Amino acid sequence: EVQLQASGGGLVQAGGSLRLSCAASGFSIDDYGIGWFRQTPGKEREGVSGISSSDGTKYYIDSVKGRFTISSDSAKNTVYLQMNSLQPEDTATYYCAAGGYSVIAALVQGQGLRAHEYDYWGQGTLVTVSS
pLDDT single digits (tens) 68-127: 999 999 999 999 999 999 999 999 999 999 999 999 999 989 898 999 999 999 999 999
- What confidence category does residue 53 fall into, taking pLDDT thresholds of 50, 70 and 90? confident
At 4-29, the pLDDT tens digits run: 999 999 999 999 999 999 999 999 99
Look over the chain and give the mean of its residue pLDDT values, rounded to a whole number.
Answer: 96
What pLDDT was estimated at residue 39?
A: 98
What pLDDT was estimated at residue 54?
A: 85
Q: Are strands 68-73 and 92-99 parallel, antiparallel or unpaired?
A: unpaired
